[in-house]
Amino acid sequence: MSKETKGQPAAENPEELHELKVTKPKEWAAGIPAVTAALADVFEETGPTRGALALFTMNQKGGFDCSSCAWPDPDDDRSPIAEYCENGAKALAEEATTKKLTPEFFAENSVADLAKLDDMEIGKKGRIAQPVYLPKGATHYQPISWNDAFHKIGDKLNSLASPDEVAFYTSGRTSNEASFVYQLFVREYGTNNMPDCSNMCHESTSVALAEAIGIGKGTVTLNDFYDTDVIIIVGQNPGTNHPRMLTALEKAKKKGSKIIAINPLHEAGLMGFKNPQTVKGIMGITTQLADVYLQVQINGDMALFKALEKLLYDAEQQQPGTVFDKEFIEKSTVGYDNFIEYVKHFDVDALCATAGVSVEQVKQAADLIKHKSKIIICWAMGITQHKNGVDTVKEIVNLTLLKGSIGKAGAGLCPVRGHSNVQGNRTMIIWDKPKKEQLDKIQEVYGFTPPQKNGLDVVESIKAMHEGKLKVFFAMGGNFLSATPDTTFTADAMRKLELSVHVSTKLNRSHLVHGEEAIILPTLARSDKDVVNGEDQFISCENSMGVVQMSKGILKPVSMELLNETQIVCELAKATLKDRTVIDWDRFANSYDAIRDDIGKVIPGFENYNQRVRLPGGFYLPNAAREGTFKTEKFKDKAPFTITKLPDHKLADDEYMMTTIRSHDQFNTTIYGMDDRYRGIHNERRVIFMNPKDIAKAGFMQGDKVDLFNYYDDIERVARLFVIVPYNIPERNTATYYPEGNVLVPINSVAEKSNCPTSKLVFIKIRKHEG
């Protein structure tokens, strides 16, 4: 075995811990504590006047879109009091803060000193107030003018041997308008190296659904939740990751819907909800959510769905025509006979054992859906971030096809996206693998020939950095280092760059692990007022359910030195392409309407964009699968059943499966605080949740300090100093928070077809901490 010890950069491998307090996990989410926590964060960061103004405007028609999750706003019945959740309010507090980082701050704080802070401390410093530059060999960022920054970047891009020596990353926060001009610039420059955050989350969904139903997006609307019989939530934790979904689930329950929850951990937001906007919720009365809770093993979901399919098949044999939708199957699908021949031989007992749930529980779930067709299946990273992520999504599709639960009201597929406008980015062709028809349309409208070969995704970009093939990394938002797998490998890769550039609102870890030179370009946040040539501008975003709506900031920016993302792209394009360009970048920089006019020429579904986006609530993009038509060219507009292979996980005697999760006090890589009150964790994040039987069997005790090891590819990866916490989780299963656990996620462990990192299943060994 080749041995390479892997630690985490700077403060991510601490010498000591905070004083951890563990309390009983909650069995419900939200309630008055959520309101208290949200308001406390907002008012502390913004003050009461600025904070209240922003809160009453966020997610309202004509207001600005929340910068956290992509859960849709109601079409009609938006709350006039609070159309946001606790995490949305905390995200607002982060961006609307009045604290700012001036040149004096950077002069007083070296990069090395800032790197010693944890991610929460870095993020809490405040908004970046002006462009800053780190010269080669320097220890401190220093101010740089916008003009000098653009020309320094442009000169570097023009000095490279090939445009393919650059990767242009995108975070989900980026608007439709900025995304469109960004990809246009990158392709006129000459590369498709456009990794984005989708590569690390729902890429498995996009690949699977495109092949299975002809579109890489979900098929339901929010109103479908109010007209459904059964909602299945698998590999997703709405209470922490998409809290506004709880209101939709509560409304569905009131209308008689049943909920099946599938998750390795018992999560508060799947069990109960105290709605703080109702008298019932204020009084502390809980709405029960899950009617059946299937606590599967990590990655036991595919086995579970196969068991359900066999139970439904058996029921169909007993009562032909009452369980499967034969008319839909005949009209809209292909491959049914081969698929059923495969299902016939399933062993329900063995599948349930593999899934880690009892046969009786699975039969309860099968009984709930047996005679129903209005079924919605929701999922997130717990499904997609596995080697078999694409196939598990296709297994979910198999179940909906058997039941005819797609293309009708109250039924369909609901991949819940984790970042506001991440779906819109892809619609705007932020993609390393663009379709030929998309490139042809760009050439038709603008007259230049875009690059034809596929570019690099996230994992490929990291490897190319490590190999010295990438010289420059440009990030439009995000915290790339903390979001990516194999933290130390990625950090080593980023340090090999000649130039790293980040368009950001706040300081984060990625600014502190940099190339030979580094530049930070500060931009406006969603809540900031965006004024161009004296006129207020608005942007637009696409949510998880394909609704495009306007977003208009209302707060005075903390600095006059900030530029919006669109202006940054346009000025960079001018500085880089100079007289080679065929595009009028000033036209785009001066008017978002001009960008939207061009989007309407290039991207289907955006005709009359400027008129429709100004309608209250925006407009729905076309979605043929939602209407029951499947644009699967390979299968002649029918949806194929897919035969998938069950994953086979073999553990050594001293080995465990680990999944990475969010705490309730974070959004993606942004850490709001050190508590996770739903799981009973207070004042510490470096914990590992373990089954009590595993703790005893291994000779550990609650509170023991341990180190975690992964040996994928015969490389030793180490995450040091974690505290053992007993938890309701299946035996041989464990969980840690990310980004702290990301150092253990191997760069070469990826989902088949999608190349998505397998952050939800890492094989680890646990040893007493040395030190």
pLDDT in tens, 18-47: 899 999 999 988 877 777 877 787 778 788
| CB-based contact 291:260 (threshold 8 Å) | yes
Alpha-carbon span 93 to 37, nearest angstrom: 11
- 204: pLDDT strictly greater than 80: yes
Question: Is the pLDDT higher at 656 or at 74?
Answer: 656
pLDDT at site 82: 62
Give yes or no for a contact between 212 and 634, defined as CB atoms under 8 angstroms apart.
no
Within 10 angstroms of residue 156's Cβ, the number of other Cβ atoms is 18
Instruction: Tell me what pLDDT residue 88 has.
Output: 77
Give the pLDDT score at 9: 47
Name the one residue in this structure whose structure tokens are 């969603």: 526
Sheet containing 272-274, strands listed edge to edge, beginning at the edge strand earlier in sequence: 29-30, 272-274, 287-288
- Residue 687 tokens, joined: 């914990």
Can you tell me the distance from the alpha carbon of 1 to that of 615, in angstroms, rounded to the nearest whole number? 62
Rounded CA-CA distance 206/228 in Å is: 24
pLDDT digits (tens, 9 = 90+) for 270-287: 999 888 787 787 788 889
Any idea what the Cα angle at residue 278 is, between residues 274 and 282, rounded to 5°? 60
Average pLDDT over residues 516-525: 97
**Which one is predicted more confidently, 380 or 4?**
380
Residue type (1 letter), 61: K
List 258's β-bridge partners, or say none: 230
Task: Tell whether omega for the bond before 450 is within 30 degrees of 0, i.e. cis.
Answer: no
Point out which residues pair with 542 in neighbouring strands: 548
Instruction: Count Cβ neighbours within 10 Å for each residue of 409-425 and write b for 16 or more, e otherwise.
Output: ebbbbbbbbbbbbbbbb
At 3 the pLDDT is: 34
Q: Are strands 666-667 and 670-671 parallel, antiparallel or unpaired?
A: antiparallel
Per-residue pLDDT tens over the stretch 212-227: 999 999 999 999 999 9
SS3 state of residue 647: coil
- The lowest-confidence range among 94-98, 538-542, 754-758 is 94-98
757 with 386: CB under 8 angstroms?
A: no
Spatial contact of 537 and 530, defined as CB atoms under 8 Å apart = yes
Q: Find out whether 93 and 44 touch, Cβ atoms under 8 Å.
A: yes
Which residues lie below 8 Å from residue 512, measured CB to CB, with a gap of 6+?
9, 10, 111, 114, 115, 122
Q: Which DSSP category does 72 fall into? A: P
**Helix, strand, coil % over all residues of the chain, rounded to 5:** 40, 15, 45
Residue whose tokens read 């490590």 = 466
Report whether pLDDT(165) > 70. yes
